[in-house]
Every structure is written in C-alpha cells, then in structure tokens.
Amino acid sequence: MTVYIYLFIISTILSFFKKNNFLLFSLYLLLLCIGSFRSIDVGTDTSNYEDMYKIINSGEEGRQFISAFVEPGWVFINYICGHFFDNYRPILFIGIFLSITPFFMRLWKSH
C-alpha cells in the first residue's frame, strides 16, 4: 500500500513540473495494475471485496442480505462481474479505476 501512495504522490508532483502525457499515463497504468492485482493480504478492504463478491454471487438470498449493508450500484457491479468472471479481481479493477481515473483526468486536462 505504501508503494501505491508514493506513486500517487510522485505522479501529482511530476504533473506540475513538466507536460509529459506519456509519463502521466504510465503512472496511471502502474497504479491501476498495482491496485488491481494486489494480494488478498494487502489492506483490510481486499478481503472484504472478496467476501462480498462471494456472498452476492452465492444466490438471491446472499444478494438480498448484502443489499441491506452495501450500495445498490456496488451490488449490481458484483452481480454482473459474477456472470462474466469466476473471481473478484475485476471488482478490484473497477474500484481502483473509479477511484483514480477522475484524479488523472483532471491532471491531463490541466496540461
């Protein structure tokens, strides 16, 4: 997780000094990959994402139970990913994509 934070800070600092879209895009992809392929042992949320994915895709009772505690959009994304993929990794990708993309879009537009 520390590497992720350092890369995020470096990308922010470098974006102010030099107009280099390739560097910015490379950092974006690196952060996206690190966040998407992190181990289940990294942080406290990764295991929760896996557990939610399993509960939501276990059947209608699981979806109804978890819907009481989790946002409906997140339940829907988990449900859709459950039909196309057999593990929770796409959920990590979607989560990190939704988290860092607005930040990097702002940096690209500032150039």
| Whether this model's pTM surpasses 0.95 | no
pLDDT reported for residue 19: 66
Close Cβ partners of 57 (under 8 Å, ≥ 6 residues apart): 78, 79, 82
pLDDT reported for residue 71: 86
At 111, list the tokens. 């150039």
Question: Which CA distances in Å does 44 have to 33, 40, 58, 94?
Answer: 18, 9, 22, 17
CB of 36 within 8 A of CB of 93? yes
pLDDT reported for residue 15: 64
Burial of 52 (0-12, 13-18, 19+ CB in 10 A): buried
CB of 63 within 8 A of CB of 75? yes
pLDDT reported for residue 94: 92
Question: Which CA distances in Å does 66 have to 18, 32, 90?
Answer: 46, 27, 19
- The mean pLDDT values, 10 residues at a time, for the chain of 111 residues are 72 68 83 86 82 84 77 88 90 91 83 62
